[in-house]
Amino acid sequence: MTSIADNISAVQQRVQDALRAAGRSADAVQLLAVSKTKPAEAIRSAYSAGLTAFGENYLQEAEAKIAALSEPLEWHFIGPLQSNKTRPAAELFDWVHSVDRLKIAQRLAAQRPPQRPPLNICLQVNIDREPSKAGLLAEQLSEVASAVAELPALRLRGLMAIPKARTDSAGQRAAFAALRELRDQLNASLPALQANPLDTLSMGMSADLEAAIAEGATIVRVGSDIFGARAPLR
Ligand SMILES: *Cc1c(COP(=O)(O)O)cnc(C)c1O
């Protein structure tokens, strides 16, 4: 059995190889370790191996782990958010990647504790327009991004997507390129982003991080290739 530390080395090597192949600098991508369903002990092991940023999908589960860990960790919420359950996300996390409507952002802004730095926000985009998936459609982005950029206590950083699972790298790259183009269009067209352009593309997971990095990912979200396969999801 390989250890979490060995897995992290292998993933970091893949990230570095992909960055080099794309002609991007070695620090252009943040590796976010997706720790959903994994115990606090696994997060401790990953921290000992050098990782500091962790992604969680379920608020209750995350609250328990955040309380159990005293290490200086950066917490990213990446799961579905219901508007009546935003408070722990606003209070406990540093980033929320899965904002898919204005109402959620308004609640996060209202609930962010004033003593904490602004909550970093990505808008989730349904890049393949799948009826079963969360996320804004491309044509909804300008309006929502303009409004979110004006909210206090939040800092709109960029876009997140979970494309359809594909095995061909050309297809993977096309979906990631589409997200990058949307980010670039927003930066070029929205007066609200002039002062703070979107600098983040949260895209790429265990199976497709190379394609995402080739198309400009700045955060890759990797779970199973770091922590091992997950038990069947709830
Ligand atoms: C689970 C999850 C990941 C990690 O997926 P792996 O295939 O295990 O790397 C990334 N992003 C989101 C939003 C997830 O829910």
Q: State percent of the chain over pLDDT 70.
A: 98
Cα–Cα distance between 138 and 136 in angstroms, integer? Answer: 6
Encode pLDDT of 40-61 as tens digits: 999 999 999 999 999 999 999 9
Contact 14, 34 (CB under 8 A): no
Mutation choice for ligand 1 from 98, 125, 205, 213, CB with most ligand atoms inside 8 A: 205
Cα–Cα distance between 111 and 96 in angstroms, integer? Answer: 13
Question: Region 166-185: what's the mean pLDDT?
Answer: 98
Encode pLDDT of 85-109 as tens digits: 999 999 999 999 999 999 999 999 9
Contact 182, 125 (CB under 8 A): yes
- Provide the 10 A C-beta neighbour count for residue 129: 11
Written out in words, the top-level CATH class of the domain with range 4-225 is alpha beta
> Could you tell me the pLDDT band of residue 1, with boundaries at 50, 70 and 90?
low
Ligand 1, residue 206: give the atom nearest the CA: 9
Residue 155, amino acid: R
Ligand 1, residue 32: give the atom nearest the CA: 10
Cα–Cα distance between 3 and 22 in angstroms, integer? Answer: 29
Encode pLDDT of 126-153 as tens digits: 999 999 999 999 999 999 999 999 999 9
Q: Compute the distance from residue 34 Cα to the ligand 1 centre, in Å.
A: 6
> Could you tell me the pLDDT band of residue 190, with boundaries at 50, 70 and 90?
very high
Residue with CA at minimum distance from ligand 1 atom 6: 223
